[in-house]
Amino acid sequence: MRPFKLVGCARRRYASDAAPTPSIHLVRSGAWQESSAGEPMHKIILVLEGQVDVEGGQGGWLVIPNHVIFIPADRAFNLRTAPKTATIVAHLDPGDAEWQHHGCWVTRANGLAHEMLSHLLKLYDENPKSETVRQMFRTLSLLCRDWFANPRILWLPQAKSEATRIFIIHVRDNLSSVTVAEACRACNLPQRTMQRIAQEEFGHGLRILIGEIRMMRAMELLVKGDTSVETVARAVGFNSLSSFGAAFAERVGLAPGEFKQRNRTALRNCSQISASDGA
């Protein structure tokens, strides 16, 4: 974690079209990074393959396959993609619907989101200026209120001090065994002092911060490959599978196994969308 600063970039792949009108595109990239000081259009990015990291002034968002991020208009951000990333990127008119959150938001893409975005992509490629396409963009904007009504997930707050920056890095690098006391020692500060700093910066304590980092990493691992739930639990610091399951379900709303299975099914659909649109 470091203070937010826009990265330099010679060109962009995720920018809206020159004319500020709704648009949608399939974007494939290798390891890539770009930045924006803010755009006139809202942006939603559905990750089909790979991974997208979005960084802003309030923190960083991890967007894993079968998840979608909403980036509001006029919001400055850095964006990075992992190798072999495929996404559907839609640019929406802010006048079509009001955005209900302050800043970006990530949610799991439901079946309707997949179907609507893939169908709109095909219609847009055929006739981007048709009234049917324009109405679908309006409907998409209205649906975002329901799609992004979930609690905030896959987000890591921006460290405002050197102490919290060191704390977060230490937790992230030692997630399988880290404790609050050990992470505070890495910062060379008493636990009570670190607790006060965390409360001031993030609005919650150190245990909640560690828990958020654990759940973020667990979701990332569960959608990748064939890693078992037991292996994921140990990797993020849980010795008890039942404790991990309870903590995950409380934070995400699904048991780890169900989350993994739902995403496995959705990822097959993502691969089909990516393959068909790349044909």
| Strands in 220-262 per DSSP E | none
Q: Which of 242, 243, 189 is nearest to 211 (CA)?
A: 243
Can you identify the CATH homologous superfamily of domain 23-147? Regulatory protein AraC (2.60.120.280)
pLDDT band at 3 (very low <50, low <70, confident <90, very high): low
Q: What is the largest CA-CA distance in the chain?
A: 63
Instruction: Tell me the C-alpha distance between 219 and 261, whole Å.
Output: 12
Mean pLDDT of 33-42: 94
Q: Which pLDDT value is given to residue 279?
A: 46
Give residue 184's pLDDT: 96
- Write out pLDDT tens, residues 236-246: 999 999 999 99
163 contacts 197 by C-beta, under 8 angstroms: yes
* 159-262 matches 23-147 in CATH topology: no
pLDDT at 269 over 70: no
Q: What is the DSSP string of 76-141?
A: -EEEEE-TTEEEEEEEE-GGGS---SSS-EEEE--HHHHHHHHHHHHHHHH-TT-HHHHHHHHHHH
Give yes or no for residue 224 having a pLDDT over 80: no
In the chain, domain spans: 23-147, 159-262
CB 47, CB 67: distance < 8 Å: yes
Q: Are 238 and 231 in contact (CB under 8 A)?
A: no
CA angle 147, 226, 179 (to 5 degrees): 80
What is the 3 state secondary structure string of 46-81? EEEECCEEEEECCEEEEECCCEEEEECCCCCEEEEE
Q: How far is CA 14 from CA 9, 87, 99, 106, 110, in A?
A: 12, 10, 20, 17, 22
Distance (Å, rounded) from C-alpha 220 to C-alpha 263? 11
pLDDT, mean over the chain: 90
- Total residue count of the chain as it appears in this document: 279
Rounded to whole angstroms, the Cα distance separating 138 from 121 reads: 14
Cβ-based burial of 274 (10 A; exposed 0-12, middle 13-18, buried ≥19): buried
Picking from 144-148, 227-231, 269-273, which range would have the lowest pLDDT averaged per residue?
269-273
**CATH architecture, domain 159-262:** Orthogonal Bundle (1.10)
Q: Distance (Å, rounded) from C-alpha 256 to C-alpha 219?
A: 8
Span 149-197, pLDDT tens digits? 988 889 988 888 999 999 999 999 999 999 999 999 999 999 999 999 9
In sequence order, the β-bridge partners of residue 70 are 44, 105
